[in-house]
């Protein structure tokens, strides 16, 4: 009998202990839930306060978003992925064609139009057969104005965080969306190239408006463009006195000059490989060199940076010109 009483008491005490433990666990869950809710409310209030002041929140993609973005663009670790983005009508598609040595209407060329012809991120493999170009994939990214989404969400919505390089194109003015893309590129450590497009058209218009010569209009356009970008970078907080890194530069180009230089490089490489000189009258490239502004430098820097990212990710060397463009392209042929 005494043994049964002791067993019964032990069971009661065990049940009471378990009940007390369950109560404490429930209280702990309740406490954590209340703390989480309070933290969420504080974060929400802080976000609303910042938004009211024009300060946009930092939103990092989840692993699921990374995976979805990789699947969407068919990301291949053996390739180099260039996203070309910018507002509607800025000349993104034309530049993609020029980078790939194509004109409007050529087989495989991106669609070109006055209005935004790109509603989805569109993939364009580089059609050139010589290395390094088979490694290159170009992507035409819809302009931010195409969608009814806040500017600060554009970078994540388009999955720009997944690309190896971003070419940011604008043709009239540098906008807050452009600043947001630059800020995110810095956050994700993605090399970015700011490109002011349609330069020759802008210079012709400026010469007419100012009633000055083409060389005078060209000098005025280049000077004004660089000055305006610097001011916009400072206004956006992307360039501050005392920064260790130099401010992003702007490449002032025209799509016809990019194409001309691309074809010129291909012909140079063909001549070198075949040890034959192409007759001047048969050459397709190198005819507009007097109109070049930053086209040669842009293509060189794209190749040089591609080599750094693909083959020397740990090196922190300067991206200043240290070799010819053909040598940079040769480096990419190592893998």
* pLDDT of 331 higher than 60: no
* pLDDT of 297 higher than 90: yes
pLDDT at 116: 52
Residue-wise pLDDT for 163-191, tens only, equals 999 999 987 888 888 888 888 888 888 99
Q: What dihedral do alpha carbons 251, 252, 253, 258 form, nearest 10°? A: -30
CB atoms within 10 A of CB 190: 19
pLDDT tier, 98 (very low <50, low <70, confident <90, very high otherwise) = very high
* pLDDT of 234 higher than 80: yes
Side-chain-side CA neighbours of 180 within 13 Å: the count stands at: 21
pLDDT at 246: 74
**Higher local confidence (pLDDT), 318 or 82:** 82
Any idea what the Cα angle at residue 230 is, between residues 228 and 236, rounded to 5°? 100
**What DSSP assignment string belongs to 193-254?**
EEEE--HHHHHHHHHHHHT--HHHHHHHHHHHHHHHHHHHHHHTTSS-TT-SSPPPPEEE--
Q: Which whole-number Å values give the CA distances from 334 to 132, 274, 319, in the listed order?
A: 9, 20, 19
- Calculate the CA 331 to chain-centre distance: 23
**Higher local confidence (pLDDT), 65 or 138:** 138
Range from 2-6, 16-20, 47-51 that averages highest in pLDDT:
16-20
pLDDT at 318: 35
Residue-wise pLDDT for 39-80, tens only, equals 756 665 655 555 555 555 566 778 888 888 888 889 998 899
Over its C-alpha atoms, the chain yields an Rg (Å, rounded) of 28
Q: List Cβ neighbours of 38 (8 Å cut-off, separation of 6 or more).
A: none
pLDDT at 235: 84
For 293, the token pair is 């502004």
Range from 5-19, 212-226, 310-324 that averages highest in pLDDT:
212-226
Instruction: Specify the range with the lowest mean pLDDT, choosing from 3-12, 137-146, 227-236, 250-259.
Output: 3-12
pTM beyond 0.75: the answer is no
Distance linking the first and last C-alpha atoms of the chain = 85
List domains and CATH numbers for the chain.
63-255+294-331 (3.40.50.300)
Question: What mean pLDDT do residues 280-306 have?
Answer: 92
How far apart are alpha carbons 151 and 106 in whole angstroms?
A: 34
Q: Is the distance from CB of 175 to CB of 235 less than 8 angstroms? A: no
Mean pLDDT of the chain: 80
Per DSSP, what are the bridge partners of residue 125?
137
pLDDT tier, 20 (very low <50, low <70, confident <90, very high otherwise) = confident
**What DSSP assignment string belongs to 101-118?**
T--TTSTTPPP--SS---
Question: What mean pLDDT do residues 211-234 have?
Answer: 92
Question: What mean pLDDT do residues 317-330 have?
Answer: 40
């Amino acid at each position: 009998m005494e043994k049964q009483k002791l067993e019964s008491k032990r069971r009661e005490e065990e049940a009471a202990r378990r009940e007390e433990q369950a109560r404490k666990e429930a209280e702990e869950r309740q406490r954590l839930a209340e703390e989480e809710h309070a933290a969420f409310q504080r974060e929400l209030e802080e976000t609303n306060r910042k938004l009211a002041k024009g300060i946009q929140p930092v939103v990092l993609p989840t692993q699921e978003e990374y995976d979805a973005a990789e699947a969407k663009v068919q990301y291949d670790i053996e390739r180099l992925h260039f996203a070309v983005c910018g507002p509607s009508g800025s000349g993104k598609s034309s530049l993609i064609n020029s980078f790939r040595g194509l004109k409007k209407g050529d087989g495989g060329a991106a669609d070109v139009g006055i209005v935004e012809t790109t509603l989805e991120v569109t993939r364009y493999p580089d059609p050139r057969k010589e290395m390094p170009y088979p490694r290159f994939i170009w992507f035409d990214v819809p302009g931010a104005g195409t969608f009814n989404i806040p500017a600060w969400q554009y970078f994540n919505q388009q999955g720009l965080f997944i690309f190896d390089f971003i070419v940011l194109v604008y043709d009239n003015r540098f906008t807050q969306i452009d600043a947001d893309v630059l800020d995110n590129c810095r956050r994700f450590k993605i090399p970015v190239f700011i490109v002011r497009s349609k330069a020759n058209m802008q210079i012709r218009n400026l010469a007419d408006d100012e009633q000055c010569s083409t060389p005078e209009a060209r000098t005025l356009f280049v000077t004004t463009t660089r000055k305006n970008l610097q001011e916009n970078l400072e206004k956006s907080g992307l360039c501050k006195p005392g920064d260790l890194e130099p401010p992003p530069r702007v490449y002032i180009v025209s799509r016809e000059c990019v194409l001309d230089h691309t074809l010129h490089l291909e012909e140079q490489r063909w001549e070198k490989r075949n040890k034959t000189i192409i007759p001047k009258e048969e050459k397709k490239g190198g005819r507009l060199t007097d109109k070049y502004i930053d086209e040669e430098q842009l293509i060189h820097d794209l190749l040089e940076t591609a080599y750094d990212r693909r083959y020397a990710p740990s090196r922190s060397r300067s991206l200043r010109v240290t070799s010819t463009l053909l040598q940079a392209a040769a480096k990419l042929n190592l893998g």
